[in-house]
Chains A and B, each alone.
Chain A
Amino acid sequence: QQQVKQSPQSLIVQKGGISIINCAYENTAFDYFPWYQQFPGKGPALLIAIRPDVSEKKEGRFTISFNKSAKQFSLHIMDSQPGDSATYFCAATPNQAGTALIFGKGTTLSVSS
């Protein structure tokens, strides 16, 4: 019940295309859903986050869609660029201070030029 399932494991997208990464969870206590971007040899960096009181959040080319009833959320990267090539992790937490982030297994995105 603590798991966050993420798919696909890897993704190849043409420059200018849309990248879509999906995550699902079971624990209804999860209340905060961030996405992190990680480049090789670096720490995860927060990309965008959502709470379940909204169904969508957009920041620039990055959009989170959230389906509370299905317990699913997804990251859409519009107009994907080679610089977006990285590993993306979804995560979830009950959003109480000091509680663990539960990460998905990650998606390695390659954007070809």
Chain B
Amino acid sequence: EPEVTQTPSHQVTQMGQEVILRCVPISNHLYFYWYRQILGQKVEFLVSFYNNEISEKSEIFDDQFSVERPDGSNFTLKIRSTKLEDSAMYFCASSGGVGTQYFGPGTRLTVL
């Protein structure tokens, strides 16, 4: 069964450093998403992406965040200058259109 994959599984970085989180969505999907989950809290939407453009973004997705589909398979989330409060699980998801979004296993980001 096709699945969303994410790398790395755990990223540790120093405050102020840039990080790039990588995702490979399900191959025939066209819509891509990033969510985050602070430990013990609910899953929060960051951004959706379609046809090389951002479709929707939340208030959390400010200027320190950016997304990119650098090639035909990868989808990345860049955090330019990490803050302590960016520590969270980051989930990538993809969908073929309306309906179900399929989530990856997540990247645990720890900012020290």
Contacts and interface: CB of A to CB of B under 8 A. Distances in A.
B58 A89 contact: no
Interface of A: 32, 34, 36, 41-46, 49, 89, 95-106
29 contacts: A34-B100, A34-B101, A36-B43, A36-B103, A43-B106, A44-B43, A44-B91, A45-B103, A46-B101, A49-B99, A49-B100, A89-B42, A97-B30, A97-B50, A97-B95, A98-B48, A98-B49, A98-B50, A98-B56, A98-B95, A99-B48, A99-B56, A100-B58, A101-B33, A101-B43, A103-B43, A103-B44, A105-B42, A106-B42
Task: Decide if the interface of chain A is mainly helix, strand, loop or mixed.
Answer: loop
Contact of A32 (B44, B50, B98): B98
| Across the A-B interface, the 4 shortest Cβ-Cβ residue pairs | A98-B55, A100-B45, A43-B103, A103-B43
Contacts of A103: 42-44
Interface in B53-112: 55-56, 58, 91, 95, 97-106
Contacts of B95: 97-98
A106 B39 CA distance: 12
Contact of A42 (B41, B55, B105): B105
B31 A104 contact: no
Interface residues of B, number: 28
Contacts of B91: 43-44
A6 B31 CA distance: 27
Given A32-B98, A104-B42, 6 more contacts: A44-B91, A98-B48, A100-B45, A100-B56, A101-B43, A103-B44
Nearest to B51: A98
A102 B42 CA distance: 10
Contacts of B99: 32, 49, 95
